[in-house]
Chain A
């Protein structure tokens, strides 16, 4: 416990801003928890309130990195980011859908939406949002997010003060709170994973097996469908020969055009 307090006192600024930056660039780090701890530490005098400004800058920096990577790498980056998502198959779709529904305001709200938070900046980049416009919306979103959680920690400053006053007891409480928070985070991630486990029951087919079917008489009984979302269709891109496209964001209408007497093979990137 002594070590932990010393760590927060000495490296609190780096810890809080580092965790916020790590989450902003797509790593599974609990930035909200770090901000609450930062707010509480600032309220108790362990850290200066400037830690909030550092966290804000870290978030903007991380978002900007992904924005420019999204701008220059396109959708390859999004596919990479979605590999660490709880549900890789709907990761990009959900984020893109959010942009379709809410437009640019998505950047302001994205931080509060699990799964969309990391994807919003690279999506904005790949959708060619102007840098100044991105920075304006992202600044609003990052300010809202960091202020909300930092403020929460700040408001509960008395709780932290009680912890630091009674070191023996409070040390245990602090550790328990930290443990409960970490457990809650793990449970949340497991819940997300299990929630989307249902998608894994869909039968899958290897490329070689499908190629064999296409070369046989079975080819008339199957349909290849490209379900890549917006942006996959960058200029000069290719798709599987003979496939058709359905727009994932207009699924209700698209389903009317699909035959029910054929086996439908879906693919994305």
Chain B
């Protein structure tokens, strides 16, 4: 996805290790907004 963004002219980078590395480093987090949880489709 970062590659695609760069192709479109965005200055995109990737965080090494993602959220897992961020958590391990003890950096600040926040809860995912509730509206994001609701719109996810499921089969149930």
Residues of A within 8 A of B (CB): 89-90, 93, 100, 104, 124, 127-130, 133, 198-199, 201-208, 210-211, 224, 226-228, 230-231, 233-242, 245, 248, 251, 255, 258, 260, 262-269
Q: How far is the CB of B12 from chain A (nearest CB, A)?
A: 5
- Tell me the interface secondary structure of chain A in the complex: mixed
Some 9 contacts from A to B, beta carbons below 8 A apart, are A89-B14, A128-B43, A202-B13, A205-B14, A228-B19, A233-B32, A240-B27, A263-B13, A266-B1
Separation of A264 and B12 alpha carbons in the complex (Å): 5
Separation of A267 and B29 alpha carbons in the complex (Å): 13
Mask: chain B, 1-36; 1 = CB below 8 Å from A; 0 = not: 111111011111111111111101101111110001
Q: A89-B14, A240-B29 are in contact. List 5 more A-B contacts (CB 8 A).
A: A93-B1, A230-B41, A240-B27, A258-B10, A266-B13
- Tell me the interface secondary structure of chain B in the complex: mixed
Q: How many residues of B contact A (CB 8 A)?
A: 36
B43 engages A241 (CB within 8 Å): no
Q: A129-B44, A230-B40, A233-B37 are in contact. Are A202 and B14 (CB under 8 A)?
A: yes
Residue from A89, A124, A226, A239 within 8 A of B43 (CB atoms): A124
Q: A207-B15, A207-B22, A241-B28 are in contact. Are A264 and B42 (CB under 8 A)?
A: no
Separation of A104 and B12 alpha carbons in the complex (Å): 34
Separation of A90 and B17 alpha carbons in the complex (Å): 15
A207 engages B21 (CB within 8 Å): yes
Separation of A188 and B11 alpha carbons in the complex (Å): 33
B11 engages A269 (CB within 8 Å): no
B15 engages A266 (CB within 8 Å): yes
Q: A251-B1, A266-B2 are in contact. Are A204 and B14 (CB under 8 A)?
A: yes
Q: A129-B44, A266-B1 are in contact. Are A207 and B25 (CB under 8 A)?
A: yes
Q: A211-B27, A241-B30, A267-B18 are in contact. Are A231 and B12 (CB under 8 A)?
A: no
Closest 3 A-B residue pairs measured CB to CB?
A128-B44, A129-B43, A241-B28
